[in-house]
Structures are given as structure tokens and as C-alpha cells.
Structure 1
Amino acid sequence: MRYLTLCVPLLAVIGPLWCQAQTTAPSVLHIPQLMDSVALRLQQHYIFPVEAGRMGTYVQGQARKQAYVALATDPKRVVKQLQADLQAVHRDPHLFVEYNPALATASRRSPQPSAEEQAQAKKYWVANNYLFKKAEVLPGNIGYFPFTGFVPDVAGAKPTISGALQFLANTSALVIDLRENMGGSPELVSLLESYFFPIKTHMNDLINRSTNDTTVFYADPAKVPFTVSMPVYILTSHHTFSGAEDFAYAMQMAKRAVVVGETTGGGAHPTRPVSVGQGFVVSIPYARSLNPVTHTDWEGTGVVPDVKVAAQQALTKARELALRAQHQRATSEQEKRQMDYLLDELATQRPAAKEPLSQLQLYTGTYGPLTMYLTGNKLFCKNADAGNLITELRPIAPHRFVLDDNAHAEFVQDSRGRWSHIRLYVSDGNVFEERRKERN
């Protein structure tokens, strides 16, 4: 069983058929028969049996009251009224009605894709590396793993996942980027989860009303060649949906990951089109997730992040959280200074308040091999020990600047308030000072 959202190549094959709505309608619709069929299909498939019964009873009652008689020659008006009546009884944005005879015919066929469709899908997944974009080690030994979907070809995707996580296995923290991930296969979700737990762990149930069964999903280390134990941060956005929400929600509730970013789209209920006769189709949510910790899911509410930030800032924020955690675990002052240096580097990605020109003027002078001078309203450094290399000082915080790719510089006052020396913070955690040469 698959979530509905990840069907890119298959929809390319069958989409045109589903979207060809027949314009010729029966001269008069048989309304009572239509409403009986709607009630029956809801009772058979809709995820909440009680609500299915309420909706079915209501539209059947409306039919007996002749509420749809004036609409019986206009399928579009029937769709509009039926949709409004169903939503009035029980609001569900995923439950909707349409008049589409071609789709109604297609929905009565086997839901399994043909061999040709499966071959096209396989070709698509391979050509797009199973939607895995890269595996990267960021400064501070932080792994970064972005991908945009959970493909249904679990066997094909597994070597790619294993290879990526093996590459990232020695990192101090791992950031999994789901900001553009629209979901997909719950089986692949379960496989990925299995890399992060040393023992078999209950993650999610998928309750299917159409087949009256429940699929229980476990993170199981027996399914994967190795497991990893570093802290995990999951990035989300409003676009994160369905199977990606499943992964984020389950990892969050199992206390295995910190979710950073925006509240997700809120799609926990897979939907399929079901023909109700006379060319009408009802898209019915037929399954739902049930988390073993919360005993609910994220439908309509989305996955609420532990740390809320705008999606475009989520990676920087996750890196900051990871570095601060490493700082707390550091066992030496040099390690702590390394983390401080990297945190300052992250600060350069955010706009820093510029110091006034009058303040920058106070920093000018010679500090050992370094000469600080102004050009226009910017502060520059000429480094005699580096062949008179010139770099622009970029502000991080008051009195503190990025000097070059390997060092930050902080201007320091003495007890008399004079800017008497600079403190140089190097990326390896070392700190040096240079006294300012007295002016004549």
C-alpha cells in the first residue's frame, strides 16, 4: 500500500485518462440510486465508520426530500450540492466529489499499475537517483542528507540509502532535509527509520478501512546492514507532506529526532477515487495512521516542529543546535573554541549590524603583521605574513569580524578604554593575540 502523493511517473501515464471528463451526461440522473451508492461506498471505505454513516444517512434523506430533483439534469450542480452536504455533516478537505465518467471507469479497474507503467516508474527512479540528492559533511562534522520523496521501489532505493548513511556514519550529528519532500511509500519510510534504532521499535500503524486490516510498521535493525546513533535533526516546511510527515512525526514522537522548521502540510490519510455510478466519483480517504505514542496522527494539524523557524532558515538553525550540543559535550577548551568559531561562522549567514564609521576608525592601526585600514566605509586588513594579502573584515558581532577563511578577529580594549590589541580565533580552536603598535 502506498500513500497517494508520490506517483509522479504513474500519473504521467494514467493522468490523461483520468482527466478526460465526458461532457455528455444522461438526460436525467437517478438521484436516489446515486445517493444510495454514495452511502454504500462511504460505509465500505471511509476511515471513520461513524462519520461515514452520518454522511450517507444525510444525503439519502436529502434525496427522499427531493432536494436534488431540480438539479437532476445538471451533473455539475449535483456535484456542488452533494459536496456541500457531505462537508456540512463532516468536514474533510480530502473527501470530494466530481463528475468524470472516464475516471469512474478507470477507478473500477485494478489499482495495480501495468508492467509497462512499472518499467517507466523504475526508469524514472533510477534516472533521479531514487530522489536522493546528495550526502554531505558540513563544518563541525555535521551530516546533511536531503531528498524529495520516498519511492515505492524499496529494493532499488535501499543500496542508495545504505551508501549515503554509511558515508555519514561517523558524523557528530545528522540533518535530514524533508523541506521539499512530498511523501511516498510507507515501506521505505519504515526502512529508513530502521537505521536509527538499535532495537525493534513500534513506529506507526496504517489502518485500512477498504480491506479492514492494519499494517504495523516497525523500525527494525534486522532490516538494515547497520545502524547509526548520532543526534538527528529533521527539517520541515509547509510543503512537507504525507510519507515525509510520517517519518518526521514518528521519529519526533520516538524522541529520536528534533524537528526544525515549519508546521507540515497535514496529510495523513491516503485517498483513492471510487466510482459511485452514473459517471460520478468520490475521492475517499480510506486509511489513516495511528502513532503508538500519541494514538492519533497529523491529519489536518501537520507535524508541529520542536523548533519553529521559517523553512529557509531551518538548515542554519539545525546546524546551530547541533554545534551547541557538541559544545556542551566538549571535553577540552580547544574543542569548545572550535564550536564557538563555527557558531560565529553561522552568524555570518545572518545580516549583522554594521558599526558606525566613527567606531571602525578606532580599530585602524597595525597589530603585529596585520594592518587595519579604512577604504570608504569598510574595514580592511593587509597581512604581511601572507604576502600582503588584503581581506575585507565582515562583521559578526560588536567588535568581532571574519578576518579570512581561517580566522576571526576581535578588537579588545584595555583598562583605559583604548583599543590596544586584537584577539585572533583560529578554526582549529587556537587563540592568539597581537598588540597594537603605538602611534607616533
Structure 2
Amino acid sequence: MIDPSARCPEWLVDRIIDGGGSISFYSYMNLVLNDPENGFYSTGRLNIGRDGDFCTSPSLGIDFARLLAIQVVDWLFDLEKSGIESELLSLVEIGPGEGTLSRDLIVAIAEIAPALIGKIELVLVELNVGMRERQEKVVNNLEGTNYRWSNIEDLISRPVTGVVIANEVLDAFPVERLVFTENKVFRQGVSLKKINDENFLEFVDLSPTSAIMKFLKDSSSLLNIEFPPKDICNRWVTEWHCDVPSWFRNLSKAVINGSLLVVDYAMESKRYYNAMRKDGTLISYSNQEANPNILKDAGLCDLTAHLCIESTINYALKNGWKFMGETRQGQALLALGLSSFLYSLQNTKSNDLSAALNQRESLLRLVDPMGLGEFRWLAFQKETSNNLILRNRFLEDPIS
């Protein structure tokens, strides 16, 4: 049955016809998010913030960056003290969104360790022109800071030493969707269905690729999980972040020495590949609302899929990274001193009460276990021949 809300825009009709009448879900997700002329990201249509399509931690105010900067400064000082030969230490943000996290991190670092500002450069890695134009308006106001935009290819040609941040990035990578039904596995695709001269989108089952079959075999061994798990329903769907291994591999080539922090939607494999999770983790976001209908309003919504924690760690280990640890965002921010931020609000003067209450609400949202507090922080260090051990303050006991 065709979903009447899954109308196919004309530009996408042409892409699907060019693809032979049906395309993989991976190609569909890549098009609706990243098509240069019509994608949700590339056109700059995405709006992040309280009044936008969804909130991110940086969009709630500067406190997220102020807390994260404590950890970033630790890493930068560790790298500086190790005697690494580099003119500048780099702070690299992959997929900087609105640019607010990059800006706020620089401001916070200047407050915590002003001597570092002249020794670091800010590098923003952004593929989409529409988003970069918005970032430039935010970051160009920074004074006394070295900053530039780059891409992974350029970083590989001129690798850096420093700290890499990927905040809510990998969840937006296009994914392969795998369909298990009647003891068979299929690659989910998207095709057109014409009704009364109007084109609609519908899912179709395609033959699995050799890469998909290898993923299933490798994951069964690595995670000690059956594919599909026992007692699934008649039609069970899950995702594979097929571009994450190459992302770690390329980033390893782009970083000589330093740390990588991935902050994202993620869950353990036992939860990810659970028989009860019959529709996978993919969700659509628009106007602060989450919608499981991922074919609705193609090119006008964000699409996001959770990471599998164990798979992500394994991809990193196989591609030049050492795993340092992981925790939930709520625990990480408490370890970095969030409670002291909350405590300081008790001394707010009456004329600043409204601002203080808003700040308190934002801080609590950052650690809400039903929301942003459930994000996972995964930290990695570039594998090198030296014995440098970076301090991971965010993994220590919370500061009371």
C-alpha cells in the first residue's frame, strides 16, 4: 500500500529513473541529504536550534562548549608537553553544523588557557556549500584565531596534530538497510509508483551485495550475534553504516598524532540488533518532531540512524586508532564539572533570574537521560610509536 505522504519530488524522480527505476536506500539517503541542488544539508535548508528542525547540544548555549573545552584543553596540553614537532596544534571539527560549537570552543579555550590560542588553528571540515556559508557568518567574527575550512583529502595531503571532534556527524552518514524475511536477506531499495499521474516512493527488495554479505558474516563473528536474531517478526529491518570504516581510515591518514571524540546516537549491539527492534533505528526529523516515516517529504527532512558501539569501535581499531573509552553524555558532562555550573546559578541576582532559569533548563537538557544525555561519547587516540597517554577527564568520576 502506497503512503500518500510519500510523494516523490520531480528532481528525485529523475534520479531514480536514471538509476534504472529503483535505487538502494543508501543512494536514496545520500541524495535527499546531500544532492548539491536539492539535498537537505547541501542547500542549507537544515535549521538547527530551539526553533529549527531539531536541537543539538551546542545549540542550547555556550555551556556545552565550556564543559567540552575542559577536556579539549587537557588533550592539547598533553600533546604540547609531549614535545611533538608541529608549528600549530589543530582543533578540527567534522561537520560543524551552524559553526557555533567551533566558535564557542575557541571562546572557552581562550578563557581556560589563553596561552593556547596563539598555538592552535581551527579547521572546519564541511562538504556542503549551504552549511559552510552559514558557518562563515559565525566563525568569521573570531579575532586572533587561526582558522580555515578544509576537506579530508586536503588534510591527508597535509596531516595535522591535535584534537578532532565529530559531534552528531556519523548518524547522518547514508546507510544500507537490510531486510530479513522468509529466511532470506535483501538490500532495501526505493522505487517509484505512479498513481493518477503522480509519483510516489515505495520500498523494494533488492539483491544483497557481496559487501553486505561480508558485513553480516564479520559482524556475526565479532559481535557474537545471529543475523537475524531469533524470534524476529516476518519482516525485520536493520542498518549498516558502510561508510564508517573508510571514514576512520581516511581520518587516520589525516592525523599524525592526537585524539578523536565521536559524540552521537549509539547503542550496544545487543540492543541494536534486537528482535524487538524490527524497523531499525532510522528516524526523520523536521520542525522539532521525530517521524518514523522516512520516505515522507524527501529532501525536506533530516534522516539519522544510530551507531552500533561495538562495530564503531572495531572499525576504528582496524584503521589506526586506539580506543580510550566511552560513556553517556550525561556522565561525561558531570565528570567535567556540570554540577558546579548548576551550583553557581544559585547566586544569581533577581534581575538575572530569567536568564539563569533558561541556562539551568539548557544544562539539564544536556544530561537528560531521555534526550541529549543519552548521546554516547567515544574517544580514540591515533596509534603512534610514542608512549603518549592522553588524559580522559570525561571518563573519570563525576565532580560533585
Taking structure 2 as the reference length, the TM-score comes to: 0.25
Taking structure 1 as the reference length, the TM-score comes to: 0.23
Higher relative contact order (CA 8 A, sep 6+): 2
Q: Which has the larger radius of gyration?
A: 1
